[in-house]
Structures are given as C-alpha cells and as structure tokens.
Structure 1
Amino acid sequence: MASILAGLGDGYSVLQLRGTASWAGKPFNGLMWLLSELPPESLSDPVYVLQFLRKVFREKAAGRRLVLAVENPADLDAATAAVLLQLCRAGSALLLATARDLSACSGELVRWWAEGSVHRETLEPLRSGATRVLLEELAGGQVSLRLVAQVQRRSRGNPLLSSMFLREQLNAGTVLKRHGTFVWTGAVSYSGALADRVAAETVALSPAERYAADVLAVTGSLPPLLLLQVADPVAVERLEQDLLIVSGPAGTVQLKDPLLEEAAAALVPPGRAAEIRSRLAGVVSWVPGSGPQAQAAARRRAAAAAVREAADLSRRGRWEEAAAAARGCLQAADEQGVEDSGGPDLLSDLFHVFLQCGELREAEDLLSRLDKATAGTELHGGNDLCAGTVLALGGRADRALDYLRRAIAQFEADGTARLLPLAHSAAAYACVLLDDVDGAYGYLTAAVDPGPAGKDLSAASDSAETAQWAALTRRLTWLCAVRGVTGGPGPAADGADLDLPGALLVLATAALHGQPGAAEELGETATGCSGDAAQLYLELAGALTASQPEGLCLAAERAYQLGHYLMAYEAARSAVQLSRGQADRARLRAAIRIENASYRMLRTANSVSDRLPELSDFERRLALGAAAGTSSSDLAAALHLSPRTVDWHLGRIFQTLRVSGRAELRECLEMEHQHE
C-alpha cells in the first residue's frame, strides 16, 4: 500500500483510515476522529453523517482526487463500511484497502467485491529466490544463501519484515561484506526497529496477555493445553483473536512469526524468562510422548530410517534402489510436511543420496525446491556450497563459481573451517573448466592452507569433517588432476578414500580424455552397480573401447538426463568425430543435437538468449522469425531475398547459436524465457 500511495503523484490527496479491534462494533468506529465535531445524537442519522463526511473529504482533498487508504477493514463496523462505499460509488473518493481475510469484512464490502466492482490482488509471501533479489537490492551487492535462509526463516517471506531485519543487522554490523558478498555472522541485533515492532505489537496487551506472549517468546511454541496451564485462558483466547498467536508445528501454538518471537524473547528480562521456564518444568500434567507431537516424532524416526537405508544402498552401488527410496522419502515428506518428516536433516541426507547415485539433476531440483519455498530452509553445509558443488560436478562452471565464492566468504565470516577445503576444491575445478589455471592453483593451495584469511578459523567450533564432505573434496581434487591441474587435499590415510561414485566419475572423465586403460577399468568397476548412472558408465566404457558412435550418443543422452552436462558434451563430441569418419549422417545429426544441447548448458554465455546479441540486426530478425514459425518463403518475400538465400543465412545462424533448426531454436527461447 505504501508503495502504491507513494507513486500516485500530486494529483491525489490521501486520507488514511484504520480499523481497530478495540473499537470494533461501535458506530462509525473508523471515522470517529473525523466525526468528533458532530453531536452524539447526529450519529444516528446516516444521511446527515454522509453529507458531513462529503464536506470534510472535499476540504481535505483541496481540489485533488481523494484516495481512502484503509487498513484492517475487517474491524470497521457496518455503518462505516456503508458510508465509505457510498462515497466511492458516488465518485467522491477512491478506496484502497488491505485485508488479511476478505470474508471477515462487513457484508457490504464482501458483496461489493463479489459483484466484480473492485479489483483484487492476492499477495503471497516471497519465495526464497525473490527474497534473495530483495536483499541484494537493499544491500547493494550479492548476498550468501545462508543470509537469505536466516532472513527468510524469520520473515516467512514478508518483504517488510525482511527489509527491516536486514537493515537493522547492517546497521549493527552483524551482517558484513566479505570478498564482495554480504554474509551472515551468526550474531543478531534486536534493538532499533525490531524492538519498536515488539513494543507496537504488545503495547496494548494486558499484564496477563503480555505474560502469555512472553511464555511463547521464551519457549518458541507449546501445545495449547500446556500453555493454558501456565497462562490465563482468557488472555490466550484474546491473543488468538488478535492474531498474535497462530498455529505452529505438530499441534502447537506460537507467536505469529519467528521474527517477533525472537525479538520478543531477546527483550524478556532474564529473571522473568527463568521464572517461566521454572513454571513449565513444574507442570506435571503434560506428558511428552503423546498427542500430535509424538505422532510427528514417530514420522521423523520413520523418515530417518528410510533415508539411512537409501544412503546405505547408494554407498554399495545399488543406485536404482537408492534413488527410488529417496524419491519415496521426498514424496512422503511432501504429503506429511517436510518439517514433520525431519526438516533440513532429511533434505540434507536426501541431497547426498542423489549425489551418490549420480542423479545430479535430482539433487539440483531438491535445491530448487528450497529456492521456491517460503520457509528459510538450509541444507547442511549451506545452500551455496551444495549448489556450487552440484553445478561444478555437472560442468556448469561459471554458475558454480558464483555460488562457491559466496560460500567461501560465508565460511570465513562465521568460522565454518571444516567446509573450506571442499569449497576451495570445487572452486578450483570450476576454474579448471573455465581455463583459469592460475585461479585453480590458487584455490587448491587454499584448500590445503587457507592462509591469513583462514588462520583465525576454529575447526573445533564445528563437528569433525564428515566422510561425505571429505569424499566430495577428494573427488573434485581428482577431477582437477585428470584435467592436468594437481594439488589440493591428498587421499586419506585410513582408506576412507574408497569412494565408488567418485572413482567412477573420475574414470569416466579419464576415459573421455583418452587415458590408456581408463575405459576398460571404468567398465569393470561399474559392473555390479545398478541404476541410470551405472548404465551410463557401462555404455560409455563399451562405446569408447569399441569406437561406437551409437553407444556414445546413448551415453551422452543419459548423461544429459542425469545432469552430467560436461560428460554429455564430451561424449557427444566424440560421437560427432566418429560419425564423420564413418560417414554416418543420421548418427551425426543425433550426435550434433546432443552436443549442442549440452554445450548450451555449460556456461551462461552459451545460451541462445545470450548469443542472440552477437548476431547482426538482419540475422536476429531472421532467427526470431524462423523461431516464430515463419516460412523461408515468407521471410524471403519480406526481405526481398530468395528462399534459398534465407536458408543459407539460417544455416549459419543455427551454427552460431548451436541449435539444429527452427524447432530447437523455438524450444530454447521458450525454455530460457521461463527460467528468467
């Protein structure tokens, strides 16, 4: 509303009105401050009140168009709503209202909306991706996904709360800029605007209501029956009516948003907080292990057991079963609620199962779910590191490096020393793929010795490095070595470096680069494994050993579907070379198609949208016309050329854009437009 009002210009005059629960039910409650000059008996005459308000509004408008900006119209009485609507119908004013629940407004307002006489916009919480855009605009630079998750968890996608929280942390120095990225330090300030918000929300509360709110601020959430045993039931009911208390997870109640809860908890005096905890500890009638919370705990245990089984299958190369089990866990979490099924712990474990199974696209899709969610969920290790690692393994180097630089800045700021070797190794591999050898050596050196930036980091502040992160670190270091850049963390001395998925990925890369014996070893190692990744390695090994373009095309298609875009590109490129040598035109067209599709995925600059500006205006006109379905004859007639000349130009354009023809060009433009 504030944004709309600010953009109206000088031709409008704004009068702000607000419904309040404390005046609800009283005649003309939303207009009392305007009607204070009238004698009380006049309020019983609606016609007189309407005439008086027309005069008042005309004077306040001062010749401009009057806009009535109404907050909380559900708390306006029927008489106020009727008068406002009559003024709008008569053209005396425009009405702009914000309502949490339109059905709770007066019948007159609801009927007016139902008749189609008003325009309605339904506002939803920002998703994590949109919150990231908002924070980067406010901060004036890129932000880490850990900062996004922390803000999103507290604001639940409310842009006003997100902005308020970020500004306060920037002012307090609890959000810092490191290596060009704004990062989360772990400290939080609840002074300033956040303290003012707590005061505004609680200033009108009675002592009993304030105590009930403090109980929830200190505890986070409680079962309703337990809350009623330590707080006044009437006070709790009033807080629910005022929407200060809402339903929480697993049959609990909580304050309406985590930001209010945290800020209020920080402002509760220590003595009062200790007294609340003591009272809760003395309540013996609440028996843990029963009711909705116990049911949620049982679901979490079942989900954890299923994920452990999937992880065990993935380590043994039974990737078909492991991936199917992981998909089943994800579907069950969607049906039952992710938080009730284990929250970030569950999603983190599933992410690693998909990585182990070679299902990079499914791992990336899981991260995309977090980007589209309103909850601020972060996987173990951080979403920047997880996204950067997946993108690097798939060969999408420039995107990977963007995420990994944010991750490194975040880890150096918050002291997550145990994850720096993986972040540096993944960044090194991304640099190798971008032909930045000096950058790769720099990151590999930092993976072993973080230098001055990492000297003050305390590894003891975190748990010991998990086998999963260590295996990924070695995997990426080995991939660098296969491509000619050595260094970084060496193999573990305890034999923990026996990483089957990593070994197969490295062997596949070595085989594609012509390392003697690598293809044969790849085939032998993949034998006994199951799933799409195992089939990919077997197809690749067989095709490279026998120099079969058909097998290489099959392997490239499978690699593309799994998200291994660099492997798909290199396999398809080999298929193109073999097909040309064997004069197999049909196979050559298929190989070129998958080669082009993989190439476009490797770097942002390879996309059709990014390469279109490289064309001349004439070529761009031809390309867009062809993508729109215009025939060569029609294009030729419009340009006063022959159809044959148009086809010649289109052939060159398709080569530049790395597409096989009109249909693929159209598909690429549509898909890239959807992802903008």
Structure 2
Amino acid sequence: MELAGRSRTPSGSRDPGRKTGTHLSEPVLAQVKNTVAGALEALSEDRSVVVTGAAGTGKSTAMAGILAGLGDRYSVLQLRGAASWAGKPFAGLFWLLSELPPETLSNPVYVLQYLRRVLKDKAAGRRLVLAIENVEDMDEATVAVLLQLCRTGSALMLATVRDLSACTGEFVRWWSEESVHREGLEPLRSGGTRVLLEGLAGGRVSNRLVVQVQARSRGNPLLSALFLREQMDAGTVVRRRGTWVWTGSVSYSGALAERMEAETGGLSTAERFAADVLAVCGALPVLLLLQVADPPAVERLEQDLLVSSGSAGTLRFKDPLLAEAAAALVPPGRAAEIRSRLAAVQSRQTAEYTRNPPHAADIAAVRAAVQEAGDLSRCGRWTEASAAARTGLELADRYGITGRQRRDLLSELFCVFLRCGELRHAADVLAQTDKAAEGMELRGGNDLCEGIVQVLGGRADRALDSLQRALAQFEEEGTGDLVPLAGTAAAYACVLLDDGDAARSYLSAAGPGTRQRREGANASSTDAGARSSDWETALTRSFSELCAVHGVSVPGDNGGFTAAVPSGTPRDLPTSMLVLTAAALHGRPGAAEELREAAAGCSGDSAQMYLELAEGLTARRPASLLRAAERAHSLGQYLTAYGAAGGAVRLAREQSDRARLRAARRLENASYRLLRAANSVADRLPELSDFERELALGAAAGKSSSQLAGGLHLSPRTVDWHLGRIFQKLRVSGRTELRECLEAERPRS
C-alpha cells in the first residue's frame, strides 16, 4: 500500500545528494545493518520505531532495508513529509482524505474514524505499519492523527527524523515513551568511512584518502560516497600498488557542482555575496563578516541552514565539502574583490584574535608536559615519561585542544609511548584520531603509524597491509623522506611472514637512492624536519637490524644495517632494546647479557620486562620468563610474549614445573593467536575434519566427555584423546579457553 507522498525522491532544495542518484545500499554500512536488525526485532514485538540521523547518514537505506525485511503479515502505508505541507492541515494524507467533504476535515475525530476504517479495509487482516520519512516536515494535524492510530493499537509507526527538535511537541513526547524503539544513525568515524570507501572503490584505500574524505564529509556517508565517486571519475583519486590513493587534486565539475548549484541556486544577490565571502575565506568572525556582507542576508543563510556557527563566534558553511565546492566555483575576479574588501575592514580586534588565539596558556601547559615526556622517554625513564604523557593527554582533553595543535600533540605522544615500549597506549593514541569528525592523521600518516605499532607487536600481516598503503601514498605524493622507514618496517613484516625474497626487495628499495630522494624532498617543509628526526632514523636502523637477526639482509649491508641508515648514526636506547630482545630470544651469544646491562638503568614495565627476560634466559628460570611474557603481552608486544612464554614452556617441562608449564602454555597460545589473523581459532576451525569440528564445538558448548562420547559411540577416554589433539591444533589449553576464544572472535554484526 503506497499513498500520499510515496515518491522516494527527496523533496526540498536543501537535501544533499539531490539529482546525484547516490545510494548507500552497496556497501551497506554496519550501523545501518544494526539499525535494520534492531528495528525489525522491535516491530516483531509490536513496538513502533523511530530512526533519527542527519541528512545523508543512511536513514533512507535503513528504511528500505526494514521494509524489505517485513514479512507478508504486514501491510505498509508509505508517507513522506514535505516542507511545503507543514502549514496545511492533513496535507500529508490528502490522497486518502480526498473523498471526504472539505467541511469534515475540521473535525479530527471524524477524520480519525474514517482513516481507521479505510486503513483496516486496505490492510486486509495484516498488521499495519505507517512508514514515514521526514516526520518533521509533516503538518501538525497529520502527525496527531497518525499518533492516535498508533496509541490505540490500530497501527505501528516506522519513522525517520532528521531533526527531532523540529517535530511537533506531541511527537517528541510520544518518541520518549518506553513503547517506542529508538535508533540513531550517527556520522561515521574514520574507520567506518574507510569501510565505505573500500566497498565503493572495490579495493583498499590509503589512510590519507580516508582523512581527506572525512575532512570534507564530516562522516556523512552520502557525501563521502558522492565525493569519492566524482574524484575517481575525474582521476584525482588513483590506484597505486593496488591501493587507491589521494593525489592532492580535487574535481568539482560534476555532481558536486550540481549539488552546490542546488544549494545556492535560489539565493538573492546579497545572500550569494555573503556565501561567496565564506567560501573564499572559510570560517570568519561574525562581526567581521557583518562588516563586509549584508546582515539580513547573513541571517537568512543561517535560517536556511546553509551556514552554521563555529567556535569563538565564527560562521562557516555547514559542511567543508560544500565550502570547498563553493570556493572552487567563485570567479577569480570576484574572489580578489572579496579579499580586498576584507583587508580594508580588518579590525584591531580581529588582528588581536589572530595573534593571540584562545587557550594559549593551556596549549603551553600541554606542550610542556609532552616535551617533558619526550625527554624522559629518550633516556629510559619510562615510568615518568608514561605518566607525563598521560598528563598531556588529560590536559589536551580538558582544554579542548583540537585541529592541527591536537594532531601535533598526539604525534609526539605516539612516539613517547613507542619509546616506552607501551604499544597498546601508542595504539590508543592512534585510535583517538578516529574520533575527530573532520579527520586527522598523525605526522607521517596513520597507515605508517599503524604499521609500525603492528609490526613491533609481531602482528605482521596487519602491519604489511598498512605499510603497503603507506608506501603507495608516498609514491603518489613523490615524498621519499618516509620511504626508508616504511620500507624497512615492511621488510621486517615480510621476515615474520617467512617471505625472505619480499623482505630483501623492500630493503633494497630503502637503499641509497631512497635516502638521496629523502634528503632532496621537501627541504623547505617544516614537516620534513620533523619526519627526518633521529627517532625515524633510529627506527629505520632497528628494523634493518631486526631483519638481520632473522638472517635476512641485502648485499652491501654493514653489520646488518641497510644503506638507508647513515653511517655513524648514534645508537638509540629504546630501539636498541628491540634488537637486543630479538637477538636474545634467537639465542645470539651475549645478547641477553647486553640486554640486561642496557635495561638496568631504565624504569617502567618494559624495562622490567627486559630485565626478567634477560634473567630468565641467562639463569634458565621459567618463572622469570613467564613474568616477562605476561608483561610483554600487557604492553602489546605479542611476539616477545610468544617467544618468552615458549621459552618458559620448554624450561618448565624440563624442570617438571607443571603449574608454570600450564600458565606458560596458555600465554604462549594466546600470544600465538594474536600474531596473525589466520592463527585465530575461528580461522583454524575449518581446517579440522567434520568429526573434529563437531567435537570442538560440543566441548566449547559445555558438553562433558561422557556426553560427547554417548552421541558418537566412543569411550570418554577416546574423546579426551581426540580433544587433546584438537586443542593442540587450535592452540588452546582446554574447553574454557576454546569457549572464550570463540566468543571473543565471533563476528559483530
């Protein structure tokens, strides 16, 4: 049943994406899938559903998915609000009410009775669902009647709402009742945007591309899809090494230009000029804008939601993508005129605002804490460095530091936690960039930073994926300053994946030619100086040495160092520990003693881990190795945890220390499962035979050996023997650990 406003085409000139035909059904976003599932469950429980979310967040896709999931026992009446109907009573139902005499429309009771009778006949015994898009654009009388149908049990409502505050008071009160199931579609974070872009592009994308799209769309899925498709069509997003990367150019000649015209086509001359001012200059203080543009025109732009208030009393376009498209379409002569007029009316207040941005003292306090953390981390005082870094994070959150300043602070703190050996905290810092609605990358790029964290933790497959994305983006940008670091890290990842040929290829690519390009590229850039830091060089050197520890090098290496590392470079304490640890676990003579001497003057969990590891290896103490493995695992150093726990297993078995043997084996298995995606229990289950898989799942479900034996006509002892082999294949210590792994690895819908 489709009536009154049933068209699926958005109405109103302010809907983003109009005329573009952009849909999000492929790929369906996880949050949309969750919304569909939650709504269908609520409707099956005879509860109405309201889905809220800004334009472009996927409400229409969710509505379509919900309607497609309804069974034959439902009858659906589809309605759509329109701004032009808001002031006309029952305009949203005019097709249904067209047979009524006009004078009866003034009596809501009669209208309600008529609707209940008509809809009951059309439903033909099925449960009626009122599927309404954009409730806020419906007139008050229509909303009141539809709500009464729901309250009396005559129908269920499935509604989407862009702006709840624009709905009638009666609808808001009904929405807040317990009988209504509420679903909210939020703007995507960077991780969700990556999933969307990779689904649309049909392949992996670099984090630089994700950040650039996120900065323009602010997580709006519709705008993200629109922007990506236009750039792919224009060739401003290209594929390098199997990865879609950002070229730095932007096209606004197709659907984006059409969208801009749809948004601004009805503006008056004064409104158009005010919009052009914001397009050319970006966010402007309100007082400054009002001195250049017509105040009533600015007010009308705010009322039409074309512009919105920013921080510190500024105005800007409602979304960056619209602002960029508008700026690209302003003629050069008009842009020059606007800049000239702004320069003429620049006030002392604005100049003072520019010279002394707000929170200057707060930013200085955060910077001091972060600088202290960096200094402490370099000399091995990792307990104090970690505490100072956490203080810096807390202050940054407390003072609301955002934008480039927050990016710089997070970049420094990321390096601090890496030096301290706290990989989990470094990963947490990296994850904070995902919370920035406008998109954010740490210095060097999130793909590179993610790859470094993962490869240092021993998770080589995840690391290589990120590092390949980073190298593809660096190739497109033509910036070679970070290629040696990314290349040697990728080489080490390949070593851990037992691919020596690929590792040598990466090491060769990070040789002298790359270094020369690095020294010549971006020589005047302030970022280049930061990127070519001692820390970058030290990490590059360490990755080269880690490859050499595993017996992988290239011709011309100097003691395991690639030519990408300048000769005479001083040793770095934190990174030298990484190499000594790997060498000690591989049984290199004297490495454990050197590690103990180096860690003796340091503090913190990682220093204690190094000391316990050295003691366990030199004195053959399984207890020390087990403690080292536990600390390494808690720090996110899973490869070290796996090696130390494996050593503890061997020594505990030799010394008949059963208690430590069980604990060490459990930790060894847990670390092993984290090293590669294919090591997970869920991925290894298909490798079992049908018989073994049935036994494993039965044991995980809590069945005893006797219960399993009865169903298979075996003895409990035979079942235990088979389970022992199965647990060994899956790298779990028993039923409990198997159940925990399956629950933890279960896909989240």
1:73-102: CA deviations, max 9, x gaps? 334332343355567789999865432232
Deviation at 1:159, TM superposition (A): 0.9
1:179 aligns with 2:252: no
3-state SS of 2:185 partner: coil
Corresponding residue for 1:193? 255
Q: Would the alpha carbon gap of residues 297 and 215 (structure 1) be closer, same or farther in structure 2, given more than 3 Å must change?
A: farther
1:311 aligns with 2:374: yes
Please say if residues 460 and 675 of structure 2, whose CA atoms lie closer than 8 Å, have aligned partners that are also in contact.
Answer: yes
Corresponding residue for 2:598? 525
CA–CA distance in structure 1, aligned partners of residues 487 and 743 of structure 2: 35
1:16-56: CA deviations, max 9, x gaps? 64432x77545556678999999999976768988999999
1:259-286: CA deviations, max 9, x gaps? 1121112122223323333333323152
CA–CA distance in structure 2, aligned partners of residues 164 and 93 of structure 1: 37
CA–CA distance in structure 2, aligned partners of residues 202 and 39 of structure 1: 41
Q: Would the alpha carbon gap of residues 68 and 165 (structure 1) be closer, same or farther in structure 2, given more than 3 Å must change?
A: farther
Q: Would the alpha carbon gap of residues 339 and 117 (structure 1) be closer, same or farther in structure 2, given more than 3 Å must change?
A: same
1:322 aligns with 2:395: no
Please say if residues 572 and 592 of structure 1, whose CA atoms lie closer than 8 Å, have aligned partners that are also in contact.
Answer: yes
CA–CA distance in structure 2, aligned partners of residues 415 and 34 of structure 1: 63
1:641 is aligned, of 711, 714, 722, to 714
- Matched to 2:330, the amino acid is V
Please say if residues 193 and 219 of structure 2, whose CA atoms lie closer than 8 Å, have aligned partners that are also in contact.
Answer: yes
Corresponding residue for 2:161? 99
Please say if residues 250 and 292 of structure 1, whose CA atoms lie closer than 8 Å, have aligned partners that are also in contact.
Answer: no
CA–CA distance in structure 2, aligned partners of residues 33 and 169 of structure 1: 43
- Matched to 2:214, the amino acid is Q
Corresponding residue for 2:400? 337
Deviation at 1:443, TM superposition (A): 0.5
3-state SS of 2:238 partner: strand
Structure 2 unaligned blocks of 5 or more: 1-58, 555-560
Alignment of 1:559-578 (within 5 A): 559-578=632-651
Please say if residues 577 and 598 of structure 2, whose CA atoms lie closer than 8 Å, have aligned partners that are also in contact.
Answer: yes
Aligned length: 672
Please say if residues 141 and 181 of structure 1, whose CA atoms lie closer than 8 Å, have aligned partners that are also in contact.
Answer: yes
Corresponding residue for 2:341? 279
Q: Would the alpha carbon gap of residues 189 and 57 (structure 1) be closer, same or farther in structure 2, given more than 3 Å must change?
A: farther
Alignment of 1:155-170 (within 5 A): 155-170=217-232
Q: Would the alpha carbon gap of residues 191 and 300 (structure 1) be closer, same or farther in structure 2, given more than 3 Å must change?
A: farther
Please say if residues 129 and 372 of structure 1, whose CA atoms lie closer than 8 Å, have aligned partners that are also in contact.
Answer: no
Q: TM-score, normalised by structure 2?
A: 0.81
Alignment of 1:2-151 (within 5 A): 2-3=60-61, 8=67, 17-20=80-83, 25=87, 27=89, 70-82=132-144, 85=147, 96-115=158-177, 119-151=181-213
3-state SS of 1:417 partner: coil
Please say if residues 81 and 136 of structure 2, whose CA atoms lie closer than 8 Å, have aligned partners that are also in contact.
Answer: no
Corresponding residue for 1:269? 331
Q: Decide which moves more: 643-652 or 533-542.
A: 643-652
1:362 is aligned, of 425, 436, 445, to 425
1:220-279: CA deviations, max 9, x gaps? 223333333333333333333333333324553322211112111212222332333333
1:484 aligns with 2:551: yes
CA–CA distance in structure 2, aligned partners of residues 613 and 13 of structure 1: 43
Please say if residues 175 and 184 of structure 1, whose CA atoms lie closer than 8 Å, have aligned partners that are also in contact.
Answer: yes
3-state SS of 1:317 partner: coil
Please say if residues 416 and 459 of structure 1, whose CA atoms lie closer than 8 Å, have aligned partners that are also in contact.
Answer: yes
Structure 1 unaligned blocks of 5 or more: none
3-state SS of 2:626 partner: helix
3-state SS of 2:470 partner: helix
1:576-596: CA deviations, max 9, x gaps? 222222222222222212211
Q: Decide which moves more: 182-191 or 581-590.
A: 581-590
Q: Would the alpha carbon gap of residues 120 and 446 (structure 1) be closer, same or farther in structure 2, given more than 3 Å must change?
A: same
1:656 aligns with 2:726: no
3-state SS of 1:322 partner: helix
Corresponding residue for 2:309? 247
- Matched to 1:482, the amino acid is V
Q: Decide which moves more: 44-53 or 184-193.
A: 44-53
1:478-516: CA deviations, max 9, x gaps? 111111112463475574432111111111111221222
- Matched to 1:308, the amino acid is Q
Deviation at 1:387, TM superposition (A): 0.7
3-state SS of 2:289 partner: helix
- Matched to 1:520, the amino acid is E
Deviation at 1:670, TM superposition (A): 2.3
Corresponding residue for 2:742? 669
Q: Would the alpha carbon gap of residues 88 and 583 (structure 1) be closer, same or farther in structure 2, given more than 3 Å must change?
A: closer
3-state SS of 2:543 partner: helix
1:534 aligns with 2:607: yes
3-state SS of 1:468 partner: helix
Please say if residues 19 and 71 of structure 1, whose CA atoms lie closer than 8 Å, have aligned partners that are also in contact.
Answer: no
1:96-136: CA deviations, max 9, x gaps? 54322324311333344345665432111122222211111
Corresponding residue for 2:16? none
Deviation at 1:533, TM superposition (A): 1.4
CA–CA distance in structure 1, aligned partners of residues 96 and 246 of structure 2: 48
Corresponding residue for 1:347? 410
Q: Would the alpha carbon gap of residues 120 and 555 (structure 1) be closer, same or farther in structure 2, given more than 3 Å must change?
A: closer
1:387 aligns with 2:450: yes
Corresponding residue for 2:571? 498
CA–CA distance in structure 1, aligned partners of residues 318 and 690 of structure 2: 55
Corresponding residue for 1:209? 271
Q: Would the alpha carbon gap of residues 313 and 584 (structure 1) be closer, same or farther in structure 2, given more than 3 Å must change?
A: same
Q: Would the alpha carbon gap of residues 661 and 338 (structure 1) be closer, same or farther in structure 2, given more than 3 Å must change?
A: farther
- Matched to 2:247, the amino acid is T
Please say if residues 484 and 564 of structure 2, whose CA atoms lie closer than 8 Å, have aligned partners that are also in contact.
Answer: no
Please say if residues 491 and 497 of structure 1, whose CA atoms lie closer than 8 Å, have aligned partners that are also in contact.
Answer: no
1:597-640: CA deviations, max 9, x gaps? 21111111111111111222232222223223333333333434
1:272-305: CA deviations, max 9, x gaps? 3233333333231524555998333433332222
Q: Decide which moves more: 652-661 or 250-259.
A: 250-259
Please say if residues 19 and 70 of structure 1, whose CA atoms lie closer than 8 Å, have aligned partners that are also in contact.
Answer: no
1:230 aligns with 2:292: yes
Please say if residues 359 and 399 of structure 2, whose CA atoms lie closer than 8 Å, have aligned partners that are also in contact.
Answer: no
Q: Would the alpha carbon gap of residues 91 and 324 (structure 1) be closer, same or farther in structure 2, given more than 3 Å must change?
A: closer
Q: Would the alpha carbon gap of residues 271 and 491 (structure 1) be closer, same or farther in structure 2, given more than 3 Å must change?
A: closer
1:430-472: CA deviations, max 9, x gaps? 1111111111110100111669xx99x9555852423222221
CA–CA distance in structure 2, aligned partners of residues 398 and 298 of structure 1: 44
3-state SS of 1:183 partner: strand
Q: Would the alpha carbon gap of residues 92 and 543 (structure 1) be closer, same or farther in structure 2, given more than 3 Å must change?
A: closer
Q: TM-score, normalised by structure 1?
A: 0.89
- Matched to 1:573, the amino acid is G
1:447 aligns with 2:495: no
Q: Percent identity?
A: 67
Corresponding residue for 1:468? 535
Q: Would the alpha carbon gap of residues 549 and 85 (structure 1) be closer, same or farther in structure 2, given more than 3 Å must change?
A: closer
Corresponding residue for 2:662? 589
Q: Decide which moves more: 209-218 or 425-434.
A: 209-218
1:404 aligns with 2:477: no
3-state SS of 2:357 partner: helix
Q: Would the alpha carbon gap of residues 53 and 673 (structure 1) be closer, same or farther in structure 2, given more than 3 Å must change?
A: closer
3-state SS of 2:535 partner: helix
3-state SS of 2:239 partner: strand
Please say if residues 217 and 223 of structure 2, whose CA atoms lie closer than 8 Å, have aligned partners that are also in contact.
Answer: yes
